[in-house]
Structure 1
Amino acid sequence: MNNSMEQRSDDPTANFSEADLDGNRRHFGEALRRAGWLVPAPGGGPEGLGDAPESVVEGLNRLVRRTAGDVEAEAPQRVRFPGINAFELLQRTDYVASFPQLLGAIATFDGETGDHRRLLRRLEAGEDWADELTRRDYAMVSAACHPLYRALEGTDQDRRVYELVGDCFRDEPSPDPMRRESFRMHEIVTFGDERHCLDFRGRWLEAAHQVLTGLGLQVEIAAANDPFFGRAGKMLASGQRAAELKFEILTEVYPGHQTAIASANYHQGHFGEAFTITAGSDAAHTACAGFGLERIALSLAAQHGTDTRRWPEHVRDSLGLG
Structure 2
Amino acid sequence: MNLMTDAAAAAAADAAELGPSLTLRDEMLAAGLLIDTGENGLYGRSQTFEDVLDRLNVAITQLGKDQQPEVLRFPPAMRRTDFEDSEYLKSFPNLAGTIHSFCGNDMGHHRLLRALDDAMAERDDDRDDAWMEQQKPTRVVLTPAACYPIYPVMARRGPLPAEGRTVDVLSYCFRHEPSLDPGRMQMFRQREYVRLGSAEQVMAFRQMWIERGELLVELLKLPVEVDLANDPFFGRGGKIVADSQRAQALKFELLIPVADPRGKTACLSFNYHMDHFGAIWKIVCDDGSVAHTGCVGFGMERITLALFRHHGLDVNAWPDEVRALLWGDTEARVAHAMQMTQTATAGGDPA
TM-score, normalised by the number of residues in structure 1: 0.89
- For structure 1, which runs of at least 5 residues remain unmatched after alignment? 1-7, 18-23
Query: Whose relative contact order is higher, 1 or 2, with alpha carbons under 8 Å and at least 6 apart?
Result: 1
Amino acid in the other structure paired with 2:133? D
SS of 2:183's equivalent in the other structure is coil
* Greater mean deviation of Cα atoms: 107-116 or 161-170: 107-116
User: How high is the sequence identity, in percent, across the aligned residues?
Assistant: 37
Aligned residues: CA RMSD? 2.0
Deviation at 1:253, TM superposition (A): 2.4
- For structure 2, which runs of at least 5 residues remain unmatched after alignment? 1-11, 120-127, 330-351
Taking the TM superposition and a 5 Å limit, the aligned residue runs for 1:152-231 are 152-154=154-156, 155-158=158-161, 159-231=164-236
Q: Does 1:28 align with 2:21?
A: no
1:132 corresponding residue in structure 2: 134
Deviation at 1:319, TM superposition (A): 1.5
Deviation at 1:233, TM superposition (A): 1.2
* Greater mean deviation of Cα atoms: 307-316 or 259-268: 307-316
2:333 corresponding residue in structure 1: none
Distance 1:169 1:10 in 2: 33
CA contact (8 A) 2:15 2:30 kept: no
Number of residue pairs matched by the alignment: 304
* Greater mean deviation of Cα atoms: 254-263 or 51-60: 254-263
Q: Does 1:240 align with 2:245?
A: yes
TM-score, normalised by the number of residues in structure 2: 0.82
CA offsets per residue over residues 149-193 of structure 1, 9 Å max, x none?
011114222421110011100011101111001000110011111
1:4 corresponding residue in structure 2: none
Deviation at 1:89, TM superposition (A): 2.1
Q: 2:44 aligns with which of 41, 48, 68?
A: 48
Q: Does 1:308 align with 2:315?
A: yes
CA contact (8 A) 2:255 2:264 kept: yes
CA contact (8 A) 1:55 1:321 kept: no
Q: Does 1:283 align with 2:290?
A: yes
Amino acid in the other structure paired with 2:147? C
1:120 corresponding residue in structure 2: 113
Amino acid in the other structure paired with 1:79? L
- Give the structure with the larger helix fraction: 2
Deviation at 1:14, TM superposition (A): 7.4
Distance 1:275 1:9 in 2: 53
CA offsets per residue over residues 23-69 of structure 1, 9 Å max, x none?
x6xx2111101111101125667111111110011011111110001
Distance 2:309 2:39 in 1: 27
1:3 corresponding residue in structure 2: none
Distance 2:210 2:42 in 1: 30
